[in-house]
A and B are shown apart, each in its own frame.
Chain A
Amino acid sequence: MTRLDVWLERATRRLAGNSAAKVRAEIQGHYESARDAAIRDGESADEADRRAVNALGEAAAANCEHRKVLLTSAEARMLREGKWEARAICSRRWLKLALLAIPVAMLLAAAALFASGARALAGMLLSGGIGLALCLATPLLPLYTPTRSRVVRVVRQVVVTGTILMVFGGEALKWSWLLISCLWPMFWIEWKRSSIRRKLPVADWPKHLYLCFVGGICG
Chain B
Amino acid sequence: MNFKGTLPTLILEALAHAPTHGYRIAKQIKERSQGVLDFKEGTLYPALHKLENEGLVESYEGVESGRPRRYYRITRAGRVALGRDRAEWRQLSRAVTTILGEA
Chain A residues within 8 Å of B, Cβ to Cβ: 7, 11, 22-23, 25-27, 29-30, 32-34, 55-59, 61-62, 65-66, 68-70, 198-201
Contact = CB atoms under 8 A, between A and B. Distances in A.
Query: Dominant SS at the B interface?
Result: helix
18 contacts: A11-B42, A22-B49, A27-B45, A29-B21, A30-B21, A30-B45, A34-B23, A34-B41, A55-B41, A56-B41, A57-B40, A57-B41, A62-B42, A65-B47, A66-B45, A70-B46, A201-B52, A201-B53
A27 B49 contact: no
B43 interface: yes
Interface in B24-51: 26, 39-43, 45-47, 49-50
A69 B50 contact: yes
Contacts of A62: 40, 42-43, 45-46
Contact of B49 (A7, A25, A59, A70): A70
B42 A59 contact: yes
A13 to B, nearest CB: 13
Interface of B: 21-23, 26, 39-43, 45-47, 49-50, 52-53, 55, 67-70
Given A58-B40, A65-B46, 18 more contacts: A26-B22, A29-B69, A30-B22, A30-B26, A30-B45, A32-B67, A34-B23, A56-B40, A57-B39, A57-B41, A62-B45, A65-B43, A65-B47, A69-B53, A70-B46, A199-B53, A201-B52, A201-B53
A198 B53 contact: yes
B67 A69 contact: no
A27 B45 CA distance: 8
A26 to B, nearest CB: 6
Most buried by B among A29, A30, A32, A59: A30
A199 B55 CA distance: 11
A52 B44 CA distance: 14
A21 to B, nearest CB: 12
B53 A30 contact: no
Query: Dominant SS at the A interface?
Result: helix
A11 B40 CA distance: 13
Nearest to A36: B65
Contact of A29 (B39, B49, B53, B70): B70
Contact of A26 (B40, B47, B70): B70
A187 B89 CA distance: 38
Nearest to A19: B49
Given A25-B68, A25-B70, A201-B55, A30 B49 contact: no
A2 B52 CA distance: 30
Contact of B23 (A29, A59, A200, A201): A29
